[in-house]
Structures are given as structure tokens and as C-alpha cells.
Amino acid sequence: MSPLPCELFLALRYLRPRRTFVSVITVISIVGVTLGVAVLIIVIAVMSGFDREWRDRILSCNAHLKVVKPPENILRDYALPMSVVSANPAVEGVAPFVMGQVLMRSQPKHGEAFIRGPVVRGVDPLLEPRVSVIHTSLIRGDFNLDGRGLLVGSEIARGMGLNVGDHVAVYSPRSLEQLERSRGQTNAQLPVADDYEVRGVFDVGFNDFNDMLVVTSLENAQDLYGLDNAVHGLFVKLKDPFQAEMVARQLAQRLDPDLETITWMEENAQIFGALMSEKNMMFYLLFFIMIVAAFGITNSQITFVVHKTREIGLLKALGASGRQVMWIFLSQSVAVGLIGVSLGFGLGLLALAYRNEFLRLMTQVTGRELLPAAIYQIHELPAQIMASDLVIICGGSFLIAVAAGLFPAWKAGRLEPVEALRHE
């Protein structure tokens, strides 16, 4: 006697490979489920990897939290807010900043001068290492902001032909406003640009920052914007960036009501919102692969029911109930779903483990760079396997596979013995 229930025993016996057309259709159904699950796991893991990659790069040079004072965004007495923020156990570091756009002109010894409008970031050299990775991202020069020292992004340095030791003229907004007011006036005193020396070139791994950011000391930036001892706000780095909203609520209770705390999710809502929308849309689109595979299961089950009509009639004549017959064929869909999902799970994880080797092989075969580093700023294909995604993919695929066999199993359960044996 078999230890398995009668319905499951017969279902597995019918699934044994035989040299019949029905067996071929069953194998195709399993392959369809396998490929659908594998493709879903691979694509969603790669998209999650890109999401993590962009998030890490943005957060490496940007604050997890910003403390500002709207609407003028000028924080005059920032020592007290700094002490309050630093006292929070979730905070890893806090530093003041001054940030705004300036006009920068190169001063080459030969050739044409270049003009750019980067964002200058005034930092405290002692506190900045606690909130960003600029000090460890230098590709040339040193983290030296003494005097009129300046650090420039790698893309700015490339576009303006700058190197360590070169000098640039920086026009502050105040200088440009003074220049505008002096237009048309006789004997007007024209503003003189501040002379800065390039002390270093940094690459934080994110072109948006490399192409727009220059860094100087807090004192220099305060002088450019006429802030005296005031700053534009505080950068805050957390031990866990995903606690930003919780920490923001805690700080709001302790800080002055005039101060506003902005999280990195709020500041980059468009970027991460777009990534999340793309991931969700890819989920929905790729699940259509599983729906196509489900049609294959339905087709194989209908063919199987027709092929086993005589056996169904005999089972009904021997006393089998419609529910028992239904469970025989529904168990086959369950088995196909389990086998397909298990194989797809293994194939997906295997493909992710060797994704970069496969990418290099395809690059060699096609002679084209399939992941241009100049565009994506990465040299290997990122991937992040999330347990929640695996549960949704495997669980959803299994349910679709089982649902695909409901109609054929229901029809088999309703088949009357007389109709089944009429032509026998």
C-alpha cells in the first residue's frame, strides 16, 4: 500500500514521463513555469541592485537628514541645534554647510578660458568626514581647504581642463548683483572675482555630483554669500539611513519649531519614486510570462483529461467521487507548479551568481560593451536578492500554476461514467 493519498498517488503516477504527446506537453508546461520564475527573479534582483547602487552613491555624498530654517534658509546660531542633533543615539555625524551656485572661470596660461556655473559647498574640514566620503574620494591632490583652497568634481575638472595647482576665478551671487547694478553707471567700481586654487579632484562615483559640485571651506563659502558666521543648514548622517523618518520626527520634538528637518527620501523623492515605479511595472509585465505558462498548463491538463476519459469513467463507476477525481488532476497542477517554481528558483539564483561572467562572455561574442561604464558609471552588473521579492515571485507563480489547472480538474470531476464509457 502506498503511504500517499489515493488522489496524489494517481496524479504522480500519471505524471511519470512516457513517450506520449501528453508527456511532451507536460514537460513544456514545466519549462514555461521554470523560465518565467527565473526571468522574474533575475530582472527584479538586477533592478533592486541598481536601486541600491544609486541610493548608496547619492547618500555617500549627500546627507541622510538636513536641518534648515525656512524660508530664508539661513541658520545663524547653529551650535545649539548641532548639540541637540548629536545627542540623538541614531546620529553618526553632523556638520554645518553653506551651499549655492556660483560662476567659475578657469585661468589657463594658454588657450581659451572655460566658464561653468557649479554649486559650491562650504564645509568644515574637521566635521565633513563624519557626513560624506568626499575626503576619501580624491583621485588627485589632497583634502586641503586652507586659504582659498578648492576641490572640484572630476567631470568639472575634465570639462574645464583643470588640474591640481590651477587657479580659477569665482564670482559670488553678490558680485554678479553688484555687476548688474553698476551697468550704465560712470566711474562705477566693478566687482573683482575671488581667486581660488584647485587643491584636489574628487570622484564620488555619481556623475551628477562630479559634474556640478565644488567644495571649499566653510569660511570661504560664508564670505561668498555674505553670511558672516551663519550657515545654510546642517548635514546629518545616520547609522541607518532607513531610520531617517523616525529620527526626523524625534528631532522635530526637540528642535526649535522654526527649524525644518528634511529626509533624503523627501529630497530625492523623484529619483527613487521613478526607480520604484519601474520595478513595480516590471513586476506586472513579467508576470504575464507566468500567465502564458499558465495557458500551457491549462492546455496540457485539458489534453490529459481527454486522454484519460476512460480511466475517469472507470474510477467513477468504482465509486470515486467527483471531488476525488478533481483532486487527482488538480494535484498534477500542484506538482507542475512545485517542480517549475523550484527549478526556476535554482536557475534564477545560478544565473545571478554568474551574471558578470555571462555579461563578459556576451561582450566578447558580440564585440560590444553591453553595460557602458560611461553611461551607467558601473563596471559590473549589480544585483540584490530580497527575500520579499522571492516570496512574491515564487508564491505568485505557484498560485497561478495551480489556478491554471482548476478548470480542467473541475470538468474532469463533473464527467459522468456513462458519458466517459459511451464509446468504449
Where do runs of H (alpha helix) occur along 244-320?
Answer: 244-254, 264-267, 269-307, 309-317
Q: What is the pLDDT of residue 334?
A: 84
Cell triple for residue 364? 566578447
Residue owning grid cell 461514467: 417
Strand partners, 231: 75
Q: What is the pLDDT of residue 2?
A: 47
Task: Give the integer Cα–Cα distance in Å for 310 and 341.
Answer: 31
Q: What is the pLDDT of residue 1?
A: 45
Q: What is the pLDDT of residue 12?
A: 57
Q: How many C-beta atoms surround the C-beta of residue 122 within 10 A?
A: 25
Amino acid letter, residue 391 = V
The answer to whether residues 170 and 104 touch, using CB atoms and an 8 Å cutoff, is yes
Task: Give the integer Cα–Cα distance in Å for 283 and 287.
Answer: 6
Contacts with 158 (C-beta within 8 Å, 6 or more apart), sequence order: none
Run of H or E residues at 227: none
Please give the chain's pLDDT, 424 residues, in tens: 445 555 555 555 555 555 554 567 778 888 888 988 998 999 899 888 888 887 887 777 788 999 999 888 899 889 999 999 999 999 999 999 999 999 999 988 787 889 999 999 999 999 999 998 888 899 999 999 999 999 999 999 999 999 999 999 998 887 777 766 666 666 556 567 889 999 999 988 778 788 899 999 999 999 988 898 899 999 999 998 889 999 999 999 999 889 999 998 888 777 777 777 877 888 787 778 788 888 888 877 777 777 777 777 776 666 667 677 777 778 778 888 888 999 999 999 999 999 888 888 888 888 777 777 666 667 778 888 889 889 989 998 899 888 888 888 887 777 776 665 565 5
Cell triple for residue 5? 493519498
What's the pTM value of the predicted model, to 2 decimals? 0.72
In this structure, the strands spanning 119-123 and 213-217 are parallel
Task: Give the integer Cα–Cα distance in Å for 43 and 38.
Answer: 9
Q: What is the pLDDT of residue 215?
A: 95
Q: What is the pLDDT of residue 5?
A: 57
| CA distances (Å), origin 353, targets 350, 364, 385 | 5, 19, 11
Q: How far is CA 49 from the centre of its chain?
A: 6
Run of H or E residues at 150: strand 149-153
Q: What is the pLDDT of residue 123?
A: 94
| CA distances (Å), origin 107, targets 121, 195, 215 | 21, 10, 18
